[in-house]
Amino acid sequence: MTGTTFALLDAFLDMMLAERNAALNTRAAYRRDLDEASRFMAQRAVSLHQASEEDVRAYIASLAVFAPRTQARRLSALRQFYRFLCSEGHRAEDPSRNIDPPRLGRVLPKYLSEEEVVALLKVVARHRGAEGARLKAMLELLYAAGLRVTELVSLPLDSVLFDRGLVQVKGKGGKERMVPLGDPAVAALKAWLPYRKESLGDKRASPFLFPSFSGRLGYMTRQRFFQLLKDIGIQAGLAPERLSPHVLRHAFATHLLEHGADLRSVQTMLGHADIATTQIYTHVATDRLTRTVTEHHPLARKGRGKRSAS
């Protein structure tokens, strides 16, 4: 990567942070994708910021081994980078403008059944002491409020309004939302607070609900919570590949819709900017209802045309 390309990439990523309120994780993802594209261009003896449409087409063709969504994401990163270069006067035209993204099929989110969530909570309830109380509080909160994992681990203590049964969440782009909590989640959080106070001691303070002093963040890492959740899932008899923090977020949304919640309310609680993002959960609920009817309705069974002898 040339010094010019490196400087332009930094300027683009800084713009993403400053003007679009992109999360640090989003910025890092763009950096990885654009670094990969830059390495490919280097093999063609061209800098990323000077690549032609032919170069970009060759790069996208090289991504055929990846899933369509991965290809589309990397093309999107390139497009935004080149549009930035055009807007800043570094290029006259966008070399990706005539390249169509791959067709994406509808991929329904993975989620757990209500029975599987209950099984997870029963496993957590068997864990004692501070670790058990923290795990139970985190799991109850994740499922009760549909949080993203970063929102969960970095949640400030004062974001939980115990007297009102609400949690105030700062999501993507710094947007805030209020999500109601059920009694089990509030009870689990209250049970965690004495252990939290004990873990801090008299000389340490932390603004976070789930503080940690083993790393630079000051709170539990996403990777550590992911690992703990996998361990709980194994104990509950769930395949590790079926479980992640985002799967519980999907379960939160799906179960709400199945029990009659309206789509706008679920959109607000999830923190989706566009209701189209939330609508995917209606497909999940509809597919499940279709399977239920197919498997259990008497008119949908084999031999439904046969009449019993009277």
Which of 82-91, 146-155, 214-223 shows the lowest mean pLDDT across its residues? 214-223
Cβ pair 81, 125 in contact under 8 A:
no
Which of 184-193, 231-240, 252-261 shows the lowest mean pLDDT across its residues? 252-261
Q: How many residues does the chain have?
A: 310
Residues linked to residue 154 through DSSP beta bridges, in sequence order = none
Cβ pair 288, 110 in contact under 8 A:
no
128: three-class secondary structure by DSSP: coil
Return the pLDDT at 309: 41
pTM: predicted TM-score of the whole model, two decimal places: 0.60
Return the pLDDT at 305: 47
Three-state SS string over 49-85 comes to HHCCHHHHHHHHHHHHHCCHHHHHHHHHHHHHHHHHH
At residue 287 the predicted structure's pLDDT band, cuts being 50, 70 and 90, is low
Q: Where are the domains positioned within the chain?
A: 3-87, 114-294
- Burial label for 206, CB within 10 Å (0-12, 13-18, 19+), is middle
Query: Is the pLDDT at 292 greater than 80, yes or no?
Result: no
Q: Which pLDDT tens digit goes with each residue over 240-268?
A: 888 888 888 888 888 888 888 888 888 88
- What is the pLDDT averaged over residues 26-50? 93
Return the pLDDT at 302: 52
Highest mean pLDDT among 3-12, 31-40, 63-72, 282-291: 31-40
Structure tokens at 246: 């985002």
Question: Does an H or E element contain 199, and which?
Answer: helix 183-200
CATH 1.10.150.130 at 3-87, yes or no: yes
Return the pLDDT at 75: 93
Q: Which residue has the higher pLDDT, 67 or 184?
A: 184
Query: Is the pLDDT at 81 greater than 60, yes or no?
Result: yes
Return the pLDDT at 101: 83
> Residues with catalytic annotation?
148, 172, 246, 249, 272, 281
114-294 to CATH, choices 1.10.443.10, 3.40.190.10, 3.40.50.1370, 1.50.10.10: 1.10.443.10
Query: Is the pLDDT at 2 greater than 80, yes or no?
Result: no
Residue 21, CB-side half-sphere exposure with 13 Å CA sphere: 7
212: three-class secondary structure by DSSP: coil
- What is the pLDDT averaged over residues 266-273? 84
Cβ pair 2, 47 in contact under 8 A:
yes
